[in-house]
Amino acid sequence: MGYADSLQAIHEAKVVAILRGDYQGKWLDIAKALLDGGLNIMEITLNSPGAIDAIKEISGQMGGQMRIGAGTVVTADEVDQAFAAGAQFVIAPNTDADVIKRALFHDLLAIPGAYSPTEVMLAHKLGGGMVKLFPSMPIGPAYIKALRGPMPQIPIMCTGGITPENAAEFLKAGANAVGFTGALVTDDVHQFGGMARLRERAERSVAAIQGLQRA
């Protein structure tokens, strides 16, 4: 499950569940709730407490069902740690040539962060198989549509302000995938009934994407 497999999986799913926060003791339950809701790709940001252990746990127990990646990867050493833990792709908030190079060395899909047309082009040129456009709000879907004019060939994932309510608009504008952060996984997973609510949010997210595909 290397670079090509991860890229294809994200293209097909169109949604990445992004976890940033302290979910220690809940990681596996969250992954199962997301999967039950129809989402099978998740990213755990490395600035979350226990992130590497979480990636290791999920990849070890759900590797055949849930594709797991590391986010907020900003150094080559972090790429190594993520790879050793079982991550199948790495996502960064910026474009760093060393991070991309190390990811490619491990046959990991690198998704560097960029914003301007120059940054998006550079991220792709350096080896980013998909480029994370961050933040995608408040500038909105119109910016994605404008980028698509001169660079239709670059796979783009939009994150930052994406919700189940606006995700379809970004995909219609030309995004290949979207990443949900706070709109999907929230601190209510620590409360009674939180996993059921998370599953419901995942189901709504999937329904929004499927509705776009049927339109």
Query: Pairing between strand 15-19 and 41-45?
Result: parallel
Write the CB contacts of 55 (distance below 8 Å, at least 6 apart in sequence): 44, 68, 70, 82, 85, 86, 87
Residues 14, 26, 56, 132: which is the catalytic one? 132
Q: Which of 110, 38, 113, 100 is nearest to 69 (CA)?
A: 110
Burial (CB < 10 A; 0-12, 13-18, 19+), residue 19, is buried
DSSP track, 13-78 = H-EEEEE-S--TTTHHHHHHHHHHTT--EEEEETTSTTHHHHHHHHHHHHTTT-EEEEES--SHHH
Helix, strand or coil for residue 102?
helix
C-beta of residue 72 within 8 angstroms of C-beta of residue 44: no
Cα 60 from Cα 64, distance rounded (Å): 9
Write the CB contacts of 50 (distance below 8 Å, at least 6 apart in sequence): 22, 24, 27
- 132 given a catalytic annotation: yes
Residues 26, 43, 56, 78: which is the catalytic one? 43
- 101 given a catalytic annotation: no
- Residues assigned a catalytic role: 43, 132
